[in-house]
Amino acid sequence: MILEVGGVKFGYNGKAVLKNVELGVKEGEMLVILGPNGVGKTTLLRCINAILKPKAGTIMVDGKNVLEMEPKAIARRIGYVAQYQARTRMTAFDAILMGRKPHLHFRTSEKDLRMVDGAIKVLGLGELAMRHIDEMSGGELQKVAVGRALVQEPRLLLLDEPTSSLDLKNSMNILSLIKRVVREHRVGAVMTMHNLNAALRFADKFVFIKEGTIHSAGEIREVSADMIEEVYDIPVEILHHKGRPLVVPLN
């Protein structure tokens, strides 16, 4: 098991946001965290990454307690892609190279440069490599953030709405790339998403969060219309087209 989250609790100003959350991710698995706005999805990712410190619970990556690690050690194991990226006067190449920082010693190596070049190629950023990221669109900037996380060589990828700024084609490309990386490199991934159909298409496992607790969880094929209605308070039907499930609202 790459990731084991046990009994995690967190709150702001005395108000509970996460209540006894438990989940796990194995090698080669993509888990998607689903639920309405404000239920604690992003907060959970930040707790897993130790950006936020839970009030209680354990977070283990490869059997090691993340909450007891130094930031550099966490960055060697966990790659984090936030939903919103800072715009700085830095080229896309240098921004992706920053992902190698946890592995750098005195100077940038040939391996570091090869990995950045490879990420730029697979993300289709070749023509933008020397452009400053404060001149990029939201979708381009999100691709750079994914590239930075990939070159960290993490055991676990955390992605907060990774396709929120992307059009349909780029959304499919990014999710396909993440899935391929997870499979080929035997790492784990945890994503938050609002797009239920994309989640059903790419994820292996799901967790529905409602009011800070896990409402339901399991294999992605086990997602039901009743679960979605109970969590989102809207009736839906799950249809199948060419073997793929599609969530269709009934209102």
Amino acid letter, 154: P
What dihedral angle (degrees, nearest 10) is formed by the CA atoms of 27, 33, 39, 44?
Answer: 20
Q: Over the stretch 171-187, which tens digit does the pLDDT of each residue have?
A: 998 899 899 999 998 99
Could you tell me if 11 and 55 are in contact, meaning their C-beta atoms sit under 8 angstroms apart? Answer: yes
Query: pLDDT for 190-239, tens place per residue?
Result: 999 999 999 999 999 999 999 999 999 999 999 999 999 999 999 999 99
**Domain ranges for the chain:** 3-84+146-249
Confidence (pTM): 0.92
Tens digit of pLDDT for each residue in 74-111? Answer: 999 999 998 877 788 899 999 999 999 988 877 899 99
Would you tell me how many other CB atoms lie within 10 Å of the CB of residue 178? 23
Q: Classify 3-84+146-249 by CATH class.
A: alpha beta
Write down the pLDDT at residue 164. 84
